[in-house]
Amino acid sequence: MTSPSPDGDRIAKVIARSGRASRREAERLIAEGRVRVNGKPIDSPALNVTVADKVEVDGTLLGPPDNARLWLHHKPAGLVTTARDEKGRPTVFERLPEGMPRVVSVGRLDINSEGLLLLTNDGDIKRRLELPATGWLRKYRARINGSPSDADLEPLRRGIEVEGQRFRPMEVRIDRQQGANAWLTIGLREGKNREIRRALEAVGFPVGRLIRVSFGPFRLGDIAPGAVEEVKPRVLRDQLGLSTEGFAEKRAPRRTVRRRPS
């Protein structure tokens, strides 16, 4: 987690780091006059605050910022990766296990895709992992309809253009043929919208199932659908170069899904 600057941090960042809201939501709260600094309402996010300042949101004093944390989540198919959905579809965040703090996703998986989704309570981690410069390989298992040959999939290995959008070369391996379907392992270093589905459809192989199995060094493993597993602080330090001073190095238990009452 980034340490506070001696000159302070932007108010929206401080609110986000407290777990109260995202930066965008914090800016909306400020515009609505719901944020006070040292007892005075503010109407602009262009303000730096330090640990000496008292920040209130809706009359509640913000606590100290949360430690930066990262979770591995096994996203089931049928959920959208947004905080709210205008079509009323169920979201990932509505179905998380009880006791989870406010988190945001690192990238997205579309509603029909499943597998590894990284969740964090820290905007800096989210931005760092989503940067194209990070270049971490994301691996997927894809079940497609048809019997592909290596030659059929070569356009994906070279890089393919679909409807005017260029996709970078992918790693593609045929794992096995299973009746009318085949299973592939696919690796890519970018995450454009429905990239794998669109690329495979372009070469004649519609995707029936798509599972993300890894994101850089983080792997889905045997995490059950709907469950989360927290990444240990030392792994954050080793993999992301984050300071973990003051973190409790304790075992993060795997949590199973406990549905909230409707």
Calpha distance 36→21 (Å, rounded): 15
Contacts of 84 (CB under 8 A, 6+ apart): 91
Q: Is 246 left (phi over 0), alpha (psi -120 to 50) or beta?
A: left
Question: What distances in angstroms separate CA 100 from CA 42, 58, 78, 85, 207, one per listed residue?
Answer: 30, 22, 21, 20, 32
85 a catalytic residue: no
Distance CA 4, CA 55 (A): 15
The residue annotated as part of the active site, out of 53, 66, 85, 110, is 110
| Backbone φ, ψ for residue 196 (5° rounding) | -65, -45
Q: How far apart are CA 109 and CA 106, in angstroms?
A: 10
Residue numbers annotated as active site: 110
